[in-house]
A = this chain, B = another copy of it.
């Protein structure tokens, strides 16, 4: 297993103060799933009346707990809900035994909390292909239930880390006509534990009162513009999960038409998504790729993803090389429409290339100076239409190779 001791240079200065979300309590414990000397399991319990929504990996080889969550998330219920997450073992590609572990944990959580099993959601992250020692988790459920505390979200965020170099949290308070509501969330991702693949897990809670279908539509739409717009290395985990619960404890009703809430939620999703990129394996640069002028939004996304996933673009950024030729290459290979002579490439506001060639105003030293920054913005205008998309990524460095190649399992 790779040893990662230093915090990412792109990490925020500190973990934010997460406000108490009335109707949700958290607990964490050290169950010894794989790690020693740290917490590795967290329980979140949501009060009766809470609604739940979720989005999940599209992998065809997704894990048992993802399939189980997907089977439960789409139904209305007046019951509360529980979320149980372990780190250290992803219970992915463990065949029928994996399904059995999920069932055993859900049954035990249901017994401990008094909830029906259909309201227990689980996630696992860590080593793949090894049987989950689920009894170790079940043995801790009594302790976890006894320790539930509305103020323990930060500890929960730490318990779900694998080789993340920092815990990731975000919060918002929104004044609405009907009263004030709060949102708090945390995530893990882009750390690596041999031989797993950088699973992203996200849990978000609000005391707003939101109907399940409304919550799901907001979560799905905003997820498409945030977590689905980040890439570290183009690889997709079998376990990616985002769950959001709305307790309604504030008594303030919210619908997707409440733009102040929707905007705050999107800012929070983006904040967490960007933190995942900033903990990307080996990352030293945070990169925003914005494509405009494409024939469609879908084409813009193809171009932006092609740029953001190109190893040659990502290594150029690591080398602080204003290598616009590689951006042209990535646009050319994306599969979406492009015309060499209509492209405009900018680093930040600096026009680098236009009309099929380097801009007459461009000076290499200006581009080189921009590339020395920690935050890099690449802008490509395709010159064909009104399609636009933004993707966030990081650079590709020796650190990535060290984390993922320089060990034996």
Q: Is A35 interfacial (CB 8 A cutoff)? A: no
For residue A296, which residues in chain B have a CB less than 8 angstroms away from its CB? none
Is B332 a contact partner of A59 (Cβ separation < 8 A)? Answer: yes
State how many angstroms separate the Cβ of A320 from the closest Cβ of chain B.
Answer: 7
For residue A310, which residues in chain B have a CB less than 8 angstroms away from its CB? 234-235
Taken residue by residue from 307 to 347, chain A's Cβ proximity to chain B (1 for < 8 Å, 0 otherwise) reads as 00111100110111111111011111110111111010000
For residue A334, which residues in chain B have a CB less than 8 angstroms away from its CB? 60
Q: How far is the CA of A398 from the CA of B403 in the complex (A)?
A: 11
Stretch of A40-48, A140-148, A353-361 at the chain-chain interface: A353-361
Q: When A95-B355, A357-B94 are in contact, do A61 and B332 touch as well, CB less than 8 Å?
A: yes
Q: Is A194 interfacial (CB 8 A cutoff)? A: yes
Q: Is A386 interfacial (CB 8 A cutoff)? A: no
Is A315 a contact partner of B407 (Cβ separation < 8 A)? Answer: no
- Interface size for chain A: under 10, 10 to 19, 20 to 34, or 35 or more residues? 35 or more
Q: How far is the CA of A129 from the CA of B353 in the complex (A)?
A: 9
Is B329 a contact partner of A404 (Cβ separation < 8 A)? Answer: no
CB closest residue in chain B, given A340: B61
Is B404 a contact partner of A312 (Cβ separation < 8 A)? Answer: yes
CB < 8 Å neighbour of A235 from B323, B329, B368? B329
Q: Is A279 interfacial (CB 8 A cutoff)? A: no
Is B409 a contact partner of A235 (Cβ separation < 8 A)? Answer: no
Q: When A332-B61, A357-B97, A408-B319 are in contact, do A235 and B197 touch as well, CB less than 8 Å?
A: no
State how many angstroms separate the Cβ of A303 from the closest Cβ of chain B.
Answer: 10
Is A397 a contact partner of B405 (Cβ separation < 8 A)? Answer: yes
Q: When A236-B333, A404-B312, A404-B315 are in contact, do A95 and B409 touch as well, CB less than 8 Å?
A: no
Is A357 a contact partner of B325 (Cβ separation < 8 A)? Answer: no
State how many angstroms separate the Cβ of A288 from the closest Cβ of chain B.
Answer: 19
Q: Is A87 interfacial (CB 8 A cutoff)? A: no
For residue A309, which residues in chain B have a CB less than 8 angstroms away from its CB? 234
Q: When A60-B340, A338-B61, A408-B319 are in contact, do A197 and B401 touch as well, CB less than 8 Å?
A: no
Q: Is A195 interfacial (CB 8 A cutoff)? A: yes
Q: How far is the CA of A397 from the CA of B400 in the complex (A)?
A: 10
Taken residue by residue from 70 to 98, chain A's Cβ proximity to chain B (1 for < 8 Å, 0 otherwise) reads as 00000000000000000000001111111
Taken residue by residue from 89 to 112, chain A's Cβ proximity to chain B (1 for < 8 Å, 0 otherwise) reads as 000111111100000000000000
In the complex, besides A95-B356, A129-B328, A238-B332, 19 extra interface pairs with C-beta distance below 8 angstroms are A58-B333, A59-B329, A61-B329, A61-B340, A92-B328, A93-B353, A93-B356, A95-B355, A98-B356, A98-B357, A194-B321, A195-B325, A234-B309, A318-B405, A319-B406, A319-B408, A320-B408, A321-B408, A368-B408
Q: List 5 A-B pairs, minimum CB-CB distance, nearest first.
A: A61-B332, A95-B357, A59-B332, A128-B325, A236-B333
